[in-house]
Structure 1
Amino acid sequence: MNISRLINFICIVVGGAVAFYAQAQQEQNPYILMGGIVLLIFGIYRTSRNIPSKFDKEESFIKTEREDEV
């Protein structure tokens, strides 16, 4: 696992834990909750940036007829 993926994983886990902890308290601190959510979204964004799009492929699944077959 390279360092970038490790950072993404740590951001997601720590952000989720902080957001869960901030929401579970009796008196909720909105700044801690927002910080956890921001860290969670940052980790998810960095992870999704590395996933290739399905539309980036050059080949097409649609087969065209050749002109000499018509």
Structure 2
Amino acid sequence: MNISRIINFICIVTGGLVALYAQAQKQQNTYLLIGGIVLLMFGIYRISRNIKSKYNNTDEETFIKTEDED
């Protein structure tokens, strides 16, 4: 596992824990909650941009096929 993936997972886990901690208190700290959510979304974004597309074939843009007219 390379260092970039480890950093992404740490961002996700830390952001989630910070967001849960900020939400669990009786007096909610809004800035702490926003910071946790931003860190969580940053980690998710970095992981998702490395996932390859399901549709690599650019020739087929739709699922509808046309029939040849004679």
Q: TM-score range by the shorter chain?
A: 0.7 to 0.9
Using the TM superposition, give the Cα deviation of residue 55 of structure 1 relative to its aligned residue in structure 2, in angstroms.
Answer: 1.5
User: TM-score, structure 1 length as denominator?
Assistant: 0.80
Alignment TM-score, normalising by the size of structure 2: 0.80
Distance 2:41 2:57 in 1: 27
The count of aligned residue pairs is 61
RMSD (Å) for aligned C-alpha atoms: 1.7
Identity across the alignment (%): 69
> Cα deviation per residue 1:26-70 (whole Å; 9 max; x = unaligned)?
10010000000000000000000000001124687x9xxxxxxxx
In our comparison, the structure showing a higher alpha carbon Rg is 1
Matches within 5 A, 1:45-56: 45-56=45-56
| Aligned residue identity for 2:33 | L
Structure 1, unaligned runs of 5 or more: 63-70
Point out where structure 2 has 5 or more consecutive residues left out of the alignment.
64-70
